[in-house]
Amino acid sequence: MAIELQNVSYTYMANTPMERQALSGISLEIQEGSFTAIAGHTGSGKSTLLQHLNGLIHPTNGHVLVDGVDLQPKKKAERRRAKAAAQQVGMVFQYPEQQLFEETVAKDIAFGPQNLGLSEEEIEGRVREAMELMHLDYATFKDVSPFALSGGQMRRVAIAGMLALRPKYLVLDEPTAGLDPRGRRELTETITRLHREEHVTILFVSHNMDDIVRLADRVVVLSKGRLLAYDTPRRVFQQDVLLEEAGLQPPEAFQLAACLREAGIEIPVDTMREEEVVSRVLELFRGRRG
Amino acid sequence: MSFITVQNVSHIYHAGEEQEHRALSDISLSVEEGEFVAILGTNGSGKSTLARHINGLLLPSSGHVLVDGMDTQETENIWNIRREVGMVFQNPDNQIIAAVVEDDVAFGPENIGMAPDRIRKNVHEALETVGMTHFRSFAPHLLSGGQKQRIAIAGALAMQTKCLVLDEATAMLDPRGRQEVMETIQRLHREAHITILLITHFMEEAVKADRILVLNKGEVFASGTPREIFSQGEALENIGLELPLASRVAGALAGQGIPLTDTILTKEELAAALRELYETR
* pLDDT, position B126: 94
Assess B144–A contact: CB distance below 8 Å, yes or no.
yes
Cβ contact (<8 Å) for A263 and B271? yes
Q: Which residues of A touch B181 (CB under 8 A)?
A: none
Helical segments of chain A, H only: 46-53, 79-86, 105-115, 120-133, 138-141, 151-163, 181-198, 209-215, 233-236, 240-246, 252-262, 274-285
Say if B272 falls within a structural domain: no
Assess B109–A contact: CB distance below 8 Å, yes or no.
no
Interface test with A, best of B168, B174, B203 (most A CBs within 10 A): B174
Using left for φ > 0, alpha for ψ between -120 and 50, and beta otherwise, residue B41 falls in left
Residues in chain A: 290
Cβ contact (<8 Å) for B245 and A181? no
Cβ contact (<8 Å) for B278 and A262? no
Say if B250 falls within a structural domain: no
The alpha carbon of residue B124 is apart from the nearest alpha carbon of chain A, in Å, by: 26
Rounded Cα–Cα distance for residues A136 and A105 (Å): 10
| DSSP per-residue codes, chain B | --SEEEEEEEEEETTTSTT-EEEEEEEEEEE-TT-EEEEE--TTSSHHHHHHHHTTSS--SEEEEEETTEETTSGGGHHHHHHHEEEE-S-GGGS--SSSHHHHHHHHHHHTT--HHHHHHHHHHHHHHTT-GGGTTS-GGGS-HHHHHHHHHHHHHHTT-SEEEEESTTTTS-HHHHHHHHHHHHHHHHHS--EEEEE-S-HHHHTTSSEEEEEETTEEEEEE-HHHHHT-HHHHHHTT----HHHHHHHHHHHTT----S---SHHHHHHHHHHHHHT-
| Per-residue pLDDT band at A46 (split at 50, 70, 90) | very high
* pLDDT, position A178: 86
> How many domains is chain B built from?
1
Cβ contact (<8 Å) for B253 and A282? yes
The DSSP call for residue A70 is E
Q: Which residues of B touch A47 (CB under 8 A)?
A: none
Mean pLDDT taken over chain A: 93
User: If you count residue pairs, one on A and one on B, with CB atoms under 8 Å apart, how many are there?
Assistant: 109
Q: Which residues of A touch B274 (CB under 8 A)?
A: 260, 263, 265, 281
The CA distances from residue A116 to A110, A123, A231, in Å, are: 10, 10, 37
Question: Which of B44, B242, B274 lies nearest to residue A281, judging by beta carbons?
Answer: B274
Predicted model pTM: 0.88
3-state secondary structure at position A17 = coil
Say if B251 falls within a structural domain: no
Assess B280–A contact: CB distance below 8 Å, yes or no.
no
- The CATH number given to whatever domain includes residue B145 is 3.40.50.300
Cβ contact (<8 Å) for A256 and B245? yes
* pLDDT, position B280: 81
3-state secondary structure at position A27 = strand
Cβ contact (<8 Å) for A285 and B177? no
Rounded Cα–Cα distance for residues A274 and A271 (Å): 8
Residue in chain A lying closest to B42 (CA): A180
Say if B70 falls within a structural domain: yes
* pLDDT, position B20: 84
Q: Which residues of A touch B249 (CB under 8 A)?
A: 256, 274, 277-278, 281
* pLDDT, position A290: 41
Give the residue among A198, A199, A207 at the shortest CA–CA distance from A173: A207
Q: Which residues of A touch B41 (CB under 8 A)?
A: 180
ipTM > 0.95?
no
* pLDDT, position B112: 87
Rounded Cα–Cα distance for residues B252 and B158 (Å): 46
Using left for φ > 0, alpha for ψ between -120 and 50, and beta otherwise, residue A155 falls in alpha
Ordered strands of the A169-173 beta sheet: A89-92, A169-173, A201-205, A35-40, A218-223, A226-231
The CA distances from residue A176 to A242, B49, B172, in Å, are: 25, 22, 10
Cβ contact (<8 Å) for B19 and A148? yes
Say if B166 falls within a structural domain: yes
Question: Cα-atom radius of gyration of chain B, to the nearest Å?
Answer: 20
Are residues A86 and A64 in contact, defined by beta-carbon separation less than 8 angstroms? no
Cβ contact (<8 Å) for A41 and B145? no
> Is the pLDDT at A13 greater than 90, yes or no?
no
pLDDT tens across A187-241, in order? 999 999 999 999 999 999 999 999 999 999 999 999 999 999 999 999 999 999 9
Are residues B196 and B185 in contact, defined by beta-carbon separation less than 8 angstroms? yes
Q: CB under 8 Å to B68, separation ≥6 — which residues?
A: B3, B81, B84, B162
Cβ contact (<8 Å) for A180 and B275? no
pLDDT tens across B197-230, in order? 999 999 999 999 999 999 999 999 999 999 999 9
Say if B151 falls within a structural domain: yes
**Parent domain of B163:** 4-225
| Residue B102 backbone phi and psi in degrees, to 5 | -55, -45
| Distance between start and end Cα atoms, chain A | 45
Residue in chain B lying closest to A249 (CA): B175
| Distance between start and end Cα atoms, chain B | 51
Are residues B185 and B152 in contact, defined by beta-carbon separation less than 8 angstroms? no
> Is the pLDDT at A117 greater than 60, yes or no?
yes
* pLDDT under 70: residue ranges of chain B: none
Say if B266 falls within a structural domain: no
Q: Which residues of B touch A277 (CB under 8 A)?
A: 249
Say if B100 falls within a structural domain: yes
* % of chain A beyond a pLDDT of 90: 83
Q: Which residues of B touch A243 (CB under 8 A)?
A: none
